[in-house]
Amino acid sequence: MNITVINGTEKYGVTYRLKEMFLTAFKDNANITEYYLPKDCPNFCNGCISCITKGENTCKDAEYIGKIDKSLLDADLVVMTSPAYVFHSTGAMKAFLDHFAYRWLSHRPASEMFEKRAVIITQCLGAGAKSAAKDIKHSLSWWGVSKIGIFTGALMSDIVWENQTVEIIDDKSNPNGYLYNKSTLLRSVAFVKMSVSCNELL
């Protein structure tokens, strides 16, 4: 299976680590292509609407968008991640989503999107991960993706990953493994739920 990952941050931080945990189950069986924002889509949409009226290949950023678009169309599973920045996805993610306005059902939908599954992973320090996930879900839904799994978490503790108390328990009797977190049980439970439902994709 093909997995395309759009990382809403270039930072090797908490979001990156959660995404890596999620992808672990797929690493041996899938072709995983990752894009990091803003590096792989570095510019803002300037609103010329050429993508909608003339075609996405006329976008000033077509060199970036064309490659990612093909990868998204080829994917069986799309994974999109972002930390919460002021209660929303990162600006880099928003700039990316703006570039794909032409893909909305109201403009030029692609039938390839309709059978795809997507997973959104967002997290924050205290509050805002849900609204960050909503930013991404809104676009995925309007691209026509119908099966979207969402993980949102709040650290509720230290901002630095190394100081977190999350551990993956390597339990051989449970091939999926599971997360154990002494300080934020709810987050663990949510992550386990996501892992279980996403393992159905394997």
Ligand X SMILES: Cc1cc2nc3c(=O)[nH]c(=O)nc-3n(C[C@H](O)[C@H](O)[C@H](O)COP(=O)(O)O)c2cc1C
C-alpha–C-alpha distance, residues 114 and 9, integer Å: 26
Pick 15 or 139: Cβ nearer ligand X: 15
Least Å from the CB of residue 2 to ligand X: 25
C-alpha–C-alpha distance, residues 77 and 85, integer Å: 25
C-alpha–C-alpha distance, residues 156 and 164, integer Å: 10
Least Å from the CB of residue 171 to ligand X: 27
Rule CB under 6 A: which of 148-167 touch ligand X?
155, 159
123: contact with ligand X by CB under 6 A: yes
C-alpha closest to that of 166 among 185, 194, 147 = 185
C-alpha–C-alpha distance, residues 202 and 36, integer Å: 24
124: contact with ligand X by CB under 6 A: yes
Specify the DSSP element, H or E, that contains 136: helix 129-143
Among 83, 120, 121, 149, which residue sits at the site for ligand X (rule: CB under 6 A)? 83
Beta carbons within 10 angstroms of residue 161's beta carbon: 15
Least Å from the CB of residue 22 to ligand X: 14
Pick 63 or 162: Cβ nearer ligand X: 162
Among 36, 44, 85, 180, which residue sits at the site for ligand X (rule: CB under 6 A)? 85
184: contact with ligand X by CB under 6 A: no
**Those residues with Cβ within 8 angstroms of residue 174's Cβ, 6 or more apart along the chain or in another chain:** none
Interaction pattern, residues 11-50, with ligand X; x per rule: CB under 6 A: x-xxxx----------------------------------
